[in-house]
């Protein structure tokens, strides 16, 4: 006798308010969740991120070089350089239009103040873009670093974010692994975008932290979620004294993971060395479950400038499915792999 198919359900992401449709029965379609298969290609030219090729990158912005030595020399453990193809430009670069005054960023808000809205308004994209190279060795994934090397990489993330904290509205640090995840060079590295605006998704999350704090007379939204996830355990993947790893309640894609520090802190860049062990466990679990070659995106969500009611976290998004017509048309994601099932498989992979 065939078991009844699980009914689809709508879940709401506690941090954003966005909806996800869980449709586990659609996993029965003849499509297998697996890493994208990309042919292994040998680099046609020397890797600019490997030790000894420092002259092939833009001038060094910072390096962890314990033995000393000039910028651009070997002997570093983690290294940051300007992005060769930045999506933003420094604020001191002249405006190509020569305009001294920036137009309003939102034409509808401008119209509310009177006058005709300019529906085609724009502003210069100011900011900083850096690349943080995780290791002098030619490795292609964070999961290939041992825990000590991963700690050095995260310390590099925090160091570069602190360097820009006072000059930004928001900083987004992210990792792309694999061509399908947006990586153009395979040597493991992170990117840091320093922005002069707060992205809508981040602003929405900040507002929900504030609203929850007021409604609960001092509660922390993500800390309360974490406590409940530990109590329930059905979406818990790993936990240590500093942080835990879960598959979020309203996961937007299969095997999505979230690393949450156990003690609330608004800013990743100012929270010591927290999270190394938990992030290492998350990476090990994904590698054990899917093997080498998993295409992956990782994002650090830290507090915008002047936001005190926030709780940083790190999100991991394996590239195991694509957004199709419904998702692109509505903004509502359909996840065919319930987070409870994904968490159980990842826990087993860690054993």
88-126 pLDDT, tens digit each: 888 764 444 444 344 445 666 655 556 677 777 677 888
| Whether the Cβ atoms of residue 249 and residue 286 lie closer than 8 Å to each other | no
Write out pLDDT tens, residues 26-71.
655 544 556 665 544 555 678 999 999 999 999 999 999 999 999 9
pTM of the model: 0.89
pLDDT of residue 21: 78
Q: Which of the given ranges, 9-18, 23-32, 195-204, 309-318, has the highest pLDDT on average?
A: 309-318
Q: How far apart are CA 69 and CA 216, in angstroms?
A: 53
- The values of phi and psi at residue 324, to 5°, are -110, -160
Positive or negative, the Cα torsion across 67, 43, 139, 259? Answer: positive
pLDDT of residue 111: 53
| Whether the Cβ atoms of residue 314 and residue 279 lie closer than 8 Å to each other | yes
Place 307 in a pLDDT band, splitting at 50, 70 and 90.
Answer: very high
In angstroms, how far is CA 238 from the centroid of its own chain? 19
Q: How far apart are CA 274 and CA 256, in angstroms?
A: 21
pLDDT of residue 308: 87
Q: Please tell me the total number of residues recorded for the chain in this structure.
A: 351
pLDDT of residue 5: 66
pLDDT of residue 302: 98
Q: How many helices (H) and strands (E) does the chain have?
A: 7, 13
Q: How far apart are CA 232 and CA 101, in angstroms?
A: 54
Q: Whose CA is closest to 345, among 277, 279, 255?
A: 255
Q: Which domains does the chain have, with CATH numbers?
A: 48-91+103-351 (3.30.428.10)
């Amino acid at each position: 006798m065939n078991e009844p198919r699980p009914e689809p359900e709508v879940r709401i992401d506690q941090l954003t308010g966005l909806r996800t449709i869980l449709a586990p029965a659609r996993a029965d379609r003849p499509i297998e969740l697996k890493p994208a298969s990309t042919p292994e290609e040998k680099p046609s030219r020397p890797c600019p991120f490997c030790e000894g090729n420092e002259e092939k990158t833009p001038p060094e912005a910072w390096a962890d070089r314990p033995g000393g030595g000039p910028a651009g020399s070997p002997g570093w453990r983690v290294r940051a350089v300007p992005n060769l193809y930045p999506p933003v430009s420094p604020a001191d670069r002249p405006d190509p239009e020569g305009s001294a005054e920036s137009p309003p960023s939102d034409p509808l808000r401008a119209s509310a103040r009177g006058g005709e809205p300019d529906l085609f308004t724009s502003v210069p994209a100011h900011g900083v873009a850096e690349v943080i190279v995780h290791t002098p060795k030619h490795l292609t994934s964070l999961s290939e670093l041992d825990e000590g090397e991963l700690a050095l990489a995260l310390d590099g993330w925090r160091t570069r974010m602190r360097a820009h904290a006072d000059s930004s509205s928001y900083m987004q640090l992210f990792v792309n692994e694999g061509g399908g995840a947006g990586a153009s060079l395979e040597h493991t590295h992170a990117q840091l975008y320093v922005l002069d605006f707060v992205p809508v998704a981040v602003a929405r999350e900040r507002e929900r932290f504030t609203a929850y704090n007021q409604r609960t007379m001092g509660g922390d939204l993500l800390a309360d979620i974490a406590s409940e996830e530990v109590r329930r355990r059905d979406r818990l993947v790993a936990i240590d004294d500093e942080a835990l790893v879960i598959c979020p309640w309203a996961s937007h894609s299969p095997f999505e993971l979230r690393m949450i520090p156990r003690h609330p802190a608004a800013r990743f860049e100012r929270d010591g060395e927290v999270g190394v062990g938990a992030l290492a466990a998350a990476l090990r679990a994904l590698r054990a479950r899917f093997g080498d070659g998993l295409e992956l995106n990782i994002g650090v969500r830290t507090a915008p400038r002047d936001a005190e009611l926030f709780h940083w976290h790190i999100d991991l998004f394996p590239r195991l499915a694509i957004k199709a017509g419904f998702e692109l048309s509505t903004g509502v994601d359909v996840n065919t792999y319930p987070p409870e099932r994904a968490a159980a498989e990842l826990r087993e992979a860690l054993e």
